[in-house]
Structure 1
Amino acid sequence: MSRTARLFQLMQSLRRHAPPVTAAQLAEDTGVSLRTLYRDIEALRGLGAIIDGTAGYGYALTEDAALPPMMFDDEEIEAIVLGLRDVQAIADPHLARAAKNALTKLQARLPDTQAHRLKYAVLAADRIIRPPQPTIDVRALRQATWDERTIQIDYVDVHGTPTQRCVDPLGIVFLKETHNLIGWCHLRKAYRNFRLDRMRNLAITSRSFRPRRIPMLREAIDVLSSCWPEPSAMTAESRDSAQS
């Protein structure tokens, strides 16, 4: 394997593994010794890749903007454009702006022919009926979810009854026409959906449930998915019945 091919394979390994990834794992992926792996890490840094970490701790790829752009085929470009434009149509303002910026950055990184295809993609996304606007800071909620921090909210259910909830936030999903938080409700002692437009007064607590978010999210989806009707059968009444 040429050195160029090996460095490319190392970049792919850094992208693929959850950080921090150990030098031993990277060396195994690329089929080299630890000494060669350390030299390859420094070579990538010299090319402009921002790689955090040291030997004995593990490595995390932060940014590789100075490296040659990743190539996409035509359908991959259409899929990326459609996905990011849908985010712009349905997401909260911060995430919608991030999707727009991501498209702009991607267009700047692609070769001219592919950048042209991205700019004038055949597929588009728009929503005649926009989802209800969240009544909390969704960016703060996303951060609490990443940090695996328990939150406190005031919540109004489908009947207009207010309650105070303590929730372990696991993920945010878009169901039909509304954004929903999937979480473990300490009040109900069960997994629940919480519509973001019915949440008020979000507060992030110091209580951590790390590192259980991923297994809890898998379990929550298994439990709650049986309550989620098929899109064609979903009505306002059936959607509300799935809310806590």
Structure 2
Amino acid sequence: MTRSERLLNLLQLLRRYRRPVSAQVLADELGVSIRTLYRDIASLQAQGAMIEGEPGVGYVMKPGFMLPPMMFSSEELDALVLGMRWVADRCDKTLSAGALSTLAKVAAVLPTELRRELEESSLLVGAPLKRPAHKVSTDLLRAAVRAEQKLNITYVDGAGIHSQRVVWPFALVYFDQARVLMCWCELRADFRNFRSDRISAVEQIEERYPKRRSTLLREWRKANDAASRTILPESDSVGY
């Protein structure tokens, strides 16, 4: 667990308690030492979290702790709600759950009036277009992007031709009807894009690729000028 994840878990834990809770209880639930817990509390307080208490007494957190005073304009709330609803409706179960959880966390710390506006938002997402079935999990593809991990994929292009590729996945692009995995392809020694529904098999290679994904993304952008930067899967592109 990263430090940022641990701090977020601590915040979520403090939300559950309306009365002061001892540092030992918090440390036990998080699986950390008392010393680490004290450091995390101090770090959150320095970042603006309204946590009251002290060692030996206990801690309690007041509402409205992040991004004080956690105010949004109507346009910002509309954008947040619409974006999260789109993800919840259009993406896989993992991202869908993440979107709904995000909305719940934001609603929990909004002032009453803004929380009501968020919950009563009339911006809705229309029924999704039917998308092709996937043979591989997009969770796996996202994990490979995050881990900067090589993949050995079996790809079937639009003409039904199979090919085997070792790729360096650095981004996953979401369209209404398709998901496109952006990669550096070792076979072509160049950037290539693959529709995830046409990936028939994936083998995880226990090896990180030699560049950072942010570097690959910058290099891809340089290789494609802004006027013609079109993200298309390999079988839909000219000359592949």
Aligned to 1:72: 71
- List gaps (5 residues or longer) in structure 1: 1-38, 50-63
Aligned to 1:241: 237
Aligned to 2:124: 124
Look up the equivalent residue of 2:43 and give its one-letter code: L
Q: State how far apart, in whole Å, the 2-side matches of 1:123 and 1:222 are.
A: 37
Look up the equivalent residue of 1:90 and give its one-letter code: R
Distance 1:218 1:114, change over 3 A: same
Give the % identical residues. Answer: 30
Aligned to 2:206: 206
- The 5 Å alignment of 1:14-53 reads 43-45=42-44
Give CA deviations for 1:134-159 in whole Å, capped at 9, x if unaligned: 32121121111111110111110111
Distance 1:65 1:90, change over 3 A: farther
Measure how far apart 1:210 and its partner are: 4.9
C-alpha contact (below 8 Å) 2:157/2:235 kept by paired residues:
no
C-alpha contact (below 8 Å) 2:128/2:176 kept by paired residues:
no
Q: State how far apart, in whole Å, the 1-side matches of 2:239 and 2:94 are.
A: 25
Q: State how far apart, in whole Å, the 1-side matches of 2:126 and 2:118 are.
A: 17
Aligned to 2:161: 161
Measure how far apart 1:42 and its partner are: 6.1
User: Which has the larger displacement, 194-203 or 67-76?
Assistant: 67-76
Distance 1:200 1:100, change over 3 A: same
- List gaps (5 residues or longer) in structure 2: 1-37, 50-60
| C-alpha RMSD of the superposition | 3.6
Aligned to 1:177: 177
Aligned to 1:106: 106
C-alpha contact (below 8 Å) 1:135/1:197 kept by paired residues:
yes
Q: State how far apart, in whole Å, the 1-side matches of 2:234 and 2:41 are.
A: 56
C-alpha contact (below 8 Å) 1:136/1:201 kept by paired residues:
yes
Measure how far apart 1:45 and its partner are: 4.2
Distance 1:110 1:212, change over 3 A: same
Number of residue equivalences? 189
Give CA deviations for 1:161-218 in whole Å, capped at 9, x if unaligned: 1111111001001245211000001111110111010112222112212542112112
Distance 1:40 1:137, change over 3 A: closer
Aligned to 1:217: 217
Distance 1:132 1:116, change over 3 A: farther
Q: State how far apart, in whole Å, the 2-side matches of 1:99 and 1:213 are.
A: 24
Q: State how far apart, in whole Å, the 2-side matches of 1:149 and 1:218 are.
A: 18
Measure how far apart 1:123 and its partner are: 1.9
Q: State how far apart, in whole Å, the 2-side matches of 1:200 and 1:81 are.
A: 34
TM-score where L is the length of structure 2:
0.66
C-alpha contact (below 8 Å) 1:183/1:220 kept by paired residues:
no
Q: State how far apart, in whole Å, the 2-side matches of 1:228 and 1:243 are.
A: 15
C-alpha contact (below 8 Å) 1:180/1:196 kept by paired residues:
yes
